[in-house]
């Protein structure tokens, strides 16, 4: 397997806000709770989704055709790989962690999600999620979201494996991140390969699942 050189993204110092201490003030709830309540009340037109990423609500359109094609290939292949076992692959569902809500392009969690629903019934608790995948959309804001901000968020949540499928990195790359360090918002295990090179999931229920040309398409020239 040919690994590409990897440059660690810049870290961001902890966000401080005018809302006061993390647990709120005597005058009202903390900012995370305010953002959480606002997110729950958001109503968007069809074709848009809202997530809470690093303390802010981010609204983005659903992916273009190429994005949907890769995500659907991946989910379908994961469903076949996981078979009739304890785990399944999901799309278009919220992953919840400490008043934050994310919508990965694909994730792997138990087949029976009911015991792992968050207290508001809005999604699945991040503690039950064994793998998340993001297919990068074009544009700097979208690229930074998946490569940097969500990379930190999924590490903070302790999700064991994060896969980034990126059409816009060189001629296309797949990055597999493992061994999250929640306290550092970073990962110890990093494998990054070009499109056209197979890379497998090294741990969890999808161990041995291969991401290659059948999912990403061939290496770009």
The reported pLDDT for the residue numbered 28 is: 53
Residue 145 lies in a domain: yes
Tell the burial category of 110 from Cβ atoms under 10 Å away from its Cβ (0-12, 13-18, 19+): middle
Tell the burial category of 125 from Cβ atoms under 10 Å away from its Cβ (0-12, 13-18, 19+): middle
Residue 198 lies in a domain: yes
The reported pLDDT for the residue numbered 20 is: 36
Q: Are 161 and 203 in contact (CB under 8 A)?
A: yes
Helix or strand or coil: residue 66? Answer: helix
The reported pLDDT for the residue numbered 71 is: 95
Residue 14 lies in a domain: no
Q: How many CB atoms lie within 10 A of CB 84?
A: 6
pLDDT tens, residue order, the chain (221 aa): 444 433 334 433 333 333 333 444 444 568 899 999 999 999 998 889 999 999 999 998 876 778 899 999 999 999 999 998 999 999 999 999 999 999 999 999 999 999 999 888 899 999 999 999 999 998 899 999 999 999 999 999 999 999 999 999 999 999 999 999 999 999 999 999 999 999 999 999 999 999 999 999 887 77
Q: At 83, which CATH number?
A: 3.90.1570.10
Residue 121 lies in a domain: yes
Give the chain's domain count. Answer: 1
β-bridge partners, 117: 124
Residue 36 lies in a domain: no
Residue 180 lies in a domain: yes
Q: How far apart are CA 178 and CA 190, in angstroms?
A: 7
Residue 112 lies in a domain: yes
Which residue range forms the structural domain that includes residue 187?
Answer: 63-216
Residue 152 lies in a domain: yes
The reported pLDDT for the residue numbered 29 is: 66
Q: Which of 49, 50, 45 is nearest to 100 (CA)?
A: 50
The reported pLDDT for the residue numbered 2 is: 40
């Amino acid at each position: 397997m040919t690994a590409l050189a990897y440059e660690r993204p810049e870290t961001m110092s902890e966000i401080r806000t005018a809302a006061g201490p993390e647990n709120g003030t005597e005058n009202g709830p903390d900012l995370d709770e305010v953002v959480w309540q606002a997110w729950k009340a958001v109503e968007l037109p069809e074709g848009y989704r809202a997530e809470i990423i690093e303390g802010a609500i981010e609204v983005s359109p659903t992916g273009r055709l190429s994005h949907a094609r890769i995500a659907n290939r991946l989910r379908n292949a994961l469903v076949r790989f996981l078979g009739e076992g304890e785990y399944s692959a999901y799309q278009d569902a919220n992953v919840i962690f400490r008043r934050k809500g994310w919508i990965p392009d694909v994730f792997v969690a138990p087949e029976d999600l009911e015991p792992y629903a968050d207290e508001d019934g809005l999604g699945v608790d991040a503690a039950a999620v064994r793998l998340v995948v993001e297919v990068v959309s074009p544009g700097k804001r979208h690229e930074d979201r998946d490569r940097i901000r969500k990379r930190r968020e999924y590490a903070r949540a302790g999700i064991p494996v994060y896969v980034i499928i990126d059409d816009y990195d060189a001629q296309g790359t797949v990055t597999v991140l493992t061994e999250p360090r929640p306290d550092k918002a970073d990962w110890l295990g990093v494998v990054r390969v070009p499109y056209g090179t197979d890379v497998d999931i090294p741990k969890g229920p999808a161990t041995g699942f291969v991401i290659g040309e059948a999912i990403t398409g061939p290496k770009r020239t």
